[in-house]
Structure formats: structure tokens, C-alpha cells
Amino acid sequence: MRIAVPDLISNSYFPAIAAVELGFFKAEGLDVKKIELLFPVPKAMEALRDGALDFVAGSAHATLMAFPDWKGAKLLAALGQRMYWLLVLRADLGAKRGEISAVKGLRIGAAPGVDLGLRRLLLEASIDPVRDHVQIAPVPGATGAAVSFGLTAAKALEEGKIDGFWANAMGAEIAVRRGVGTVILDVRRGDGPAAAQSYTFPALVTTEERIKREPESAAAAIRAVIRAHKALREEPGRATEVGRRIFPPTEAELIAELIKRDLPYYDSTISEEVVAKMNRFAQDVGLLSQPVPYDQVVASQFRHLWKDEGLKG
């Protein structure tokens, strides 16, 4: 059984990574030997559609890039709540937290699919990327299926290849600690237009075919993620244990701190309100042709699993 993430050395999809590395998938009877990296997120969703993967832990809205109008795939559970990327600009620009207008005239690196959230956020903040000469493009060097985007973005910022980036908290933390970047927006924690928090969220995704053919495997995957949430809430230091197995040394020692910050957002629930707001964003950016019902987006037959009361012991 195969599960992939579009960014590995980050906090973004860490509950799924931990569920594999700490043995929770195995404990649920699923033979997942390792978590795979397949960048960018549209390619991961296409691989899911084409049967090369069984699950993807990725951006919920990106499912639409391979499954138009939510036909053929379902969200199983949230890996966390709210849109989770940060806007980082060159430290020498002197921009302050919340100063979105500082992006005008700059080169901002953003991964394919992920860039849609930034573009829409800027428009909601009355910044037109065309009029205001904001260049939003892939980060130089961030190509190939094995790219960890946040680290590549931090390196490109340090080398002066870009003026800023829109990426995960690991990339942001590296840039800040090296003194080359300043966090301008952390949308998950309330920066920027309020609507932006609901554009997307990290989710576990599978196909409708798998749910129909092997519903228990879908339920088992949800339980594995919930067990990972529970384990990390109880002992965030276990993130370091995972990081030391699969991250470079510096990032392995940072991951537990990032996970501690994310714990308030570790809730597997996917509410009808969140789906409605995400779908509104998807329509605004041209990913969704029309409103669709909640049950077309979410595998709601498993929603009783989202609370971990049944996992004690």
C-alpha cells in the first residue's frame, strides 16, 4: 500500500508521516512500509487518480486538480485545520508582520497548486499581482518529484534568487534562523484576510473506488492518523524521533518545536462550514465549476471516527 506527501521535510503533513513512521498504519493492519515524496501536489493527486497511490496526504483543494468537481475522490480526515502556509520576505527589506503590501514589485516563490492560495489572498488584500508587479512562480531548483519545497525555497531566498516565498513553517523557520527571511503572514494564526484561513487545509485523500472496494482500509487509515494526532499531543517530542529517521539533522531537531505550535490545529474533523468555504475559494480560482454537496467532497460515513475516544487503551 502506498501513501505520498507533496512535501516531506516539513510540518505540513506530519501527522500522516508520523502515522507511518510510528507504526500506526501497521497497527491498523495496513502494509505501508514508508511514506513517499511526490512533488508538487498536482502530481501526487494525479498519481492517486491513476492508481499509482492508495492515499495522498496533501492540500484538500488540490484534489480538484485531478478529480474535477470532486468526482472520483473523497477527503477522509483533516490532518490539521486552516490554511497552513506562511509568506516570508527577505529580511533586508525591513517589512513588518502583516505588511502584505511589501510584496509589490517582488519575486515570490510558490509551488504549483499552492500558489493559488497566495494569489487569491493578495486579491482579497487589494493587491493585483499583474498591476502591482508581483511575480509568483516556482522556486528555482524546485523541480522533480523528490523536492522538499520549503527547504529549497529558503535556500533560494538566501542565494538571492527570489525575494520571498509562500511555503511551510519549516522553510520559514530555516529562513528566519539564518537571518535571511522575515515572516510577514502566518495565515493559520490569523494574519491576512480572514477568509484566507478557509481556502484549504491538509487532508488525507483517497479514491471513491477504494472506499467502495475496501472501506475498512479507508477507516483504518483515518484511525492511524487520529492515533498519530493523539500521540503527538501527548508527547510532542516523538516528532524528533520521526525526524531523525527521515529528515536532515538540522530539520530533525527543529520539527518537534514546529509540531508543538501546530497542536491546537490537530483536529481530524471536516465540518460542512469548512467545506463550503473551501469550495467557494475553489470556484473563485477556477478549480470548481459549481457548488457541490458536502457528501460529494467528504467520506462522511467515517465522520464518527474523527474523535479519538474509541482509541484509548
What string of DSSP letters covers 51-102?
TS-SEEEEEGGGGGGTSGGG-SEEEEEESSSS---EEEEEGGG-PPTT-GGG
Which pLDDT band, with edges at 50, 70 and 90, does 307 fall under? confident
> Which cell is 190 given?
490569523
Same domain for 168 and 216, yes or no, is no
- What are 22-27's contacts with CB under 8 Å, separation 24+? 22/228, 22/231, 22/238, 22/241, 22/242, 24/223, 24/224, 24/225, 24/227, 24/228, 24/231, 25/1, 25/220, 25/221, 25/224, 27/224, 27/227
Say yes or no: 131 and 267 in one domain.
Answer: no
Shared domain check, 191 and 145: yes
The overall average pLDDT reported for the chain is 95
Q: Which residue has the cell 493585483?
A: 128
Both 132 and 69 in a single domain? no
Q: What is the pLDDT of residue 142?
A: 74
The residue segments making up the domain with residue 59 are 3-81+201-311
Query: CA-CA distance, 83 to 265, in Å (whole number)?
Result: 10
The answer to whether residues 230 and 150 belong to one domain is no
Q: State whether 221 and 287 are in the same domain.
A: yes
- Do residues 226 and 262 share a domain? yes
DSSP per-residue codes, 154-186:
HHHHHTTS-SEEEE-HHHHHHHHHTTSEEEEEE
Tell me, yes or no, whether 257 and 305 share the same domain.
Answer: yes
- Tally Cβ neighbours within 10 Å of residue 264: 13
| pLDDT tens-place string over residues 1-56 | 999 999 999 999 999 999 999 999 999 999 998 999 999 999 999 999 999 999 99
Per-residue pLDDT at 79: 98
State in Å, rounded, how far the first CA of the chain is from the last one. 26
Q: State yes or no: pLDDT of 267 exceeds 80.
A: yes
What is the average per-residue pLDDT within 210-219? 98
Same domain, 228 and 276: yes
Rounded mean pLDDT, 203-214 = 98
Question: What would the pLDDT profile of 168-180 be if each residue is shown by its tens digit?
Answer: 999 999 999 999 9
